[in-house]
Amino acid sequence: MSTNDSKIAILGGRGMLGTDLAKICEQQGFDVKVFDLPEFDITNSQQLKEAVGSAKIIVNCAAYTNVDGAESETKLAHQVNAEATGRLGALVKEADAWLLHLGTDFVFDGRLDRPYVETDLPNPINEYGKSKLAGEQLLGHSGCRHCIMRVEWTYGKAGENFVSKLIRRAKTDKVVTMVDDQTGSPTATTEVARVICKLFRIKPEGVFHFASSGYVSRYGIAEFIFDKLSMDVNLLACKTSDLNSAAARPLNSRFDCSKIEALLDEPIESWQVPLERFLRQV
């Protein structure tokens, strides 16, 4: 790899995924620069231009991710997830660089009765999903060389996520209710980061789905976690329709990952393996 190709800019580099990615990139000898709030704001055009700078690889982990919050802060969600992403695409094209942009399962409505492939038609059912889809579309219009990597149900040590919230809740509440009709794959940010580093070497273009292999309900994840941590919790099941949340959630978040798996040198691990590793660390 040439010296120029080893220059990587990670936008949103102090978030949950960005933190793991920066660490793995450094371990692999890449020249990494991290950009994040408060000193870097992706909606600031000048700061965005400076961040792209002389990097030949840009990873965009920066996003507005408060799913319920996006229902009331719609304008902000679109500024971050859509407009800024479009401007980033234009800058990447100008710099003749390559961009890896992080997407989400929330671009789909979750009504399909099979795992989603990359060519399935998006149909987001909440403002967060709409803002992320608009970002993907603006990237396409920019004409830059890019890869969209849609991920789902991510968890990691550096941020707020479903797994850590669940463990925290179980320490104070002896009764925990969890939805059993949302299905997907809990995916460790360490796994996402490792795959991203592999993609740097081939710089594919297009849309790719990535998640740990196998599928489970949110209730099933809670069951797995409480069992592995030997937590004495009364776990109850409920339906998504029972919850009073601001944003609608897709029930089916299952990804077919065969497209990205064909690019990798090893099979994708089943969700239980990285999750058990994570639980040993917490």
Please give the DSSP secondary-structure letter assigned to residue 156.
-
Q: Which residues contact residue 30 at a Cβ distance below 8 angstroms, ignoring those fewer than 6 apart? A: 6, 7, 8, 197, 200
3 state SS of 258? helix
Q: What distance in Å separates the CA atoms of residue 47 and residue 41, rounded to the nearest whole number?
A: 7
Q: Which of 64, 128, 215, 219 is catalytic?
A: 128
- φ/ψ bin of 171: left (φ > 0), alpha (ψ from -120 to 50), beta (otherwise): alpha
For residue 64, indicate whether it is catalytic: no
Alpha-carbon separation of residue 134 from 100, 124, 125, 128 (angstroms): 16, 10, 13, 10
Q: Which tokens sit at 195?
A: 């795959």
Other CB atoms closer than 10 Å to residue 96's CB: what's the count? Answer: 9
Q: How many angstroms separate the CA atoms of 2 and 29, rounded? A: 12
Catalytic residue ranges = 128
